[in-house]
């Protein structure tokens, strides 16, 4: 479990640093170009990691329907989501856009309750409430300068 937590922290640090670099990149190029570059880099890195750790056999036995579903999900969720997020980051800045994106688990909790019949425990509800309060504090900061 300790290694899992460490990996999650490193991933979070990398994601946060990525936001800063992406915003700086968008000073000179359009958000659409940044999304294309990010998608390309992710595809190449994932491909290299999969082939180097699992070999080409990792791609065997995959049904075409599965590939189609994953492609549609990736286009709708990841690519479109990043495009909107990058545009939001360009206009509002990382310090405002990142915490709003961090509210994604609230939607996951709500959808899990609505469509999967899950029931969150008390700790999950308290955590979700804390996220809502945090985002409310950030969004109501009257000293924030919006662009």
What does the pLDDT profile of the chain (147 residues) look like in tens digits?
688 788 888 888 888 888 888 888 888 888 888 888 888 888 888 888 888 888 888 878 888 888 889 888 888 888 898 899 989 988 888 888 888 888 888 888 999 999 999 999 999 999 999 988 988 888 787 666 555
Q: Smallest Cα–Cα separation from 12: which of 75, 139, 146, 105?
A: 105
Within this chain, do residues 16 and 44 fall inside the same structural domain, yes or no?
A: yes
**Residue 74 and residue 114 in one domain:** no
Residues 58 and 15 in one domain: yes
Question: Which domain range does residue 131 map to?
Answer: 102-147
Cβ contacts of residue 19 below 8 Å, gap of 6+? 89, 94, 97, 98
Residue 95 counted as domain residue: no
Domain count, the chain: 2
Same domain, 47 and 72: yes
For residue 72, is it within any domain? yes
pTM attached to this predicted model: 0.70
């Amino acid at each position: 479990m300790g290694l899992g937590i460490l990996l999650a922290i490193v991933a979070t640090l990398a994601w946060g640093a990525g936001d800063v670099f992406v915003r700086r990149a968008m000073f000179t190029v359009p958000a659409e170009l940044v999304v294309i570059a990010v998608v390309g880099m992710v595809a190449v890195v994932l491909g290299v990691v999969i082939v180097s750790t699992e070999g080409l056999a990792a791609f065997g036995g995959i049904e075409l329907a599965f590939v189609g579903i994953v492609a549609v999900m990736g286009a709708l969720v990841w690519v479109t989501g990043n495009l909107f997020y990058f545009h939001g980051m360009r206009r509002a800045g990382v310090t405002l856009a990142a915490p709003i994106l961090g509210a994604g688990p609230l939607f996951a909790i709500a959808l899990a309750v609505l469509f999967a019949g899950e029931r969150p425990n008390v700790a999950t509800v308290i955590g979700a409430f804390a996220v809502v309060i945090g985002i409310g504090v950030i969004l109501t900061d009257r000293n924030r300068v919006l662009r």
